[in-house]
Structure 1
């Protein structure tokens, strides 16, 4: 950013030269750029992780396929579909159906104990998946908060410099005044940009995680309901 080619003979950034303008933003700008790069890096990491967690098929289609197979009591087929699908939702369903198959063949447990065993298995599977889904979200949310605050610190420093130039005896130092105002505006712009990106990414990924969590709960409820209805049919 400090390359001489970015500035004119008087040391001012050339018109439209972003790097020169950012260089004049002061020492806070590199910190803000670091915040922005952190947001982008962790956003990419979350995007890749959550896409993998969602599996190959869209969540709704996979849930519908599982419901259909459950209604037909094709439990082994569900396990195979889960292996093909991959992801957090498939892992939870695989665990729940595996436990369903196990308790169905266990004649020592009563119906209520079997239901509790299936529910516990599903809850444990969800508890194992959630930390992976929410990992590093706190970093993005923190960047959303501090981006504007750090930018405001740079803005204050820039305004201090600008008013100091106005306070000089005689004619104000227009060069120092312009530098101070430029520093203030550059810091404000980068700070707002960093926080805006962080807020957008955080809300986007948080919504995806909520959708996956809801799908896991729905799948777990469906598995338990299927077991209860099948047991009721056998009893009848």
Structure 2
């Protein structure tokens, strides 16, 4: 590892730190943004079943609230349903904003890593080229091998920066897209809940859940 870092100079240290942070964020977000964790079908199916059979009580509502992020949103709306449609919608929106904030956790740092690592790599290359030209001033251009070696070492930081930035950018876009899809699905379920509770929509439940 040290043999790979040494030619690139001190710029390789922040690049290494960025690569470790990016990998940790990617692994954590893959775990946190699973559909089965954020918006499991079992939660919504159970909620619709309880509403249909009028078996929803405070204990079961609390269990739904603690089961998943979508459960928190639905429970927030149901807890304020008696205060009218507008208050119910406001409570859902308030809870949903907190849920979305949690879903987007660490995505800004990941995007920042994708932006700054190519710049760090370029900075390392510029510093390396300055050193090369300093050698030319001192020793001239009599040994092309020395110059070629110096230039190749200078370009290592650019390659390292791009190696970190490209996966970071890809996964940043991927997670943003996944969060957007989850938010749309949760919004649809929340709208359906408001309509069902206030009698604007009927719900049909079979053994597989809500239809």
Q: TM-score range by the shorter chain?
A: 0.7 to 0.9
| C-alpha contact (below 8 Å) 1:67/1:222 kept by paired residues | no
Query: CA RMSD of the aligned region, Å?
Result: 3.1
Determine the C-alpha separation between the residues in 1 that align with 2:11 and 2:120. 7
Q: Does 1:36 align with 2:19?
A: yes
Contact 1:158 1:181 in 2 (8 A): yes
> Over residues 60-97 of structure 1, what are the superposed CA-to-partner deviations in whole Å (9 max), with x where a residue is unaligned?
x347626853773546187377358x221121112223
Q: CA deviation at 1:196?
A: 1.1
TM-score by length of 2: 0.78
Change (3 A) 1:128 1:75: farther
Query: 1:151 Cα deviation (Å)?
Result: 0.4
3-state SS of 1:76 partner:
coil
- How far, CA to CA, are the matches of 1:229 and 1:114 in structure 2? 12
* Contact 1:166–1:172 (Cα < 8 Å) also in 2: no
Change (3 A) 1:160 1:231: closer
Q: Structure 2: any 5+ residue segments left out of the alignment?
A: 203-211
Match of 2:185? 215
Unaligned runs of 5+ in 1: 2-18, 104-112
TM-score by length of 1: 0.70
Higher mean displacement: 184-193 or 146-155: 184-193
Following superposition, the deviation at residue 149 of structure 1 comes to: 0.4
Question: Of 144, 157, 167, which residue of structure 2 is paired with 1:197?
Answer: 167
Where 1:229 maps in the other structure, the secondary structure is: coil
8 A Cα contact 2:38 2:68, kept in partner:
no
In the TM superposition, residue 159 of structure 1 has moved relative to its aligned partner by 2.5
Answer 1 or 2: higher relative contact order, Cα 8 Å, separation at least 6.
2
Distance apart, 1:137 and its partner CA: 1.7
- Please identify, of 135-144 and 37-46, the stretch whose mean Cα deviation from structure 2 is larger: 37-46
User: Shift of the alpha carbon at 1:179?
Assistant: 3.5
* Alpha-carbon offset, residue 118 of structure 1: 1.3
The alignment status of 1:79 with 2:79, answered yes or no, reads: no
Q: Indicate how the Cα distance of structure 1 residues 141 and 214 shifts in structure 2: closer, same or farther if over 3 A, else same.
A: same
Figure out how many residues of one structure are paired with residues of the other and give that number.
199
**1:186 equivalenced with 2:156 (yes/no):** yes
* Aligned equivalent of 2:78: 97
- Aligned twin of 1:169: 140
- Paired with 1:187 and 1:91, the residues of 2 have a C-alpha distance of 46
- Structure-2 change in CA distance of 1:220 and 1:170 (3 Å): closer
Give the aligned partner of residue 206 of structure 2: none
Structure 2 residue aligned with 1:48: 31
Deviations 1:174-207 (A, max 9, x none): 23x2332222221011100111121122112212
Partner-residue secondary structure (3-state), 2:143: coil
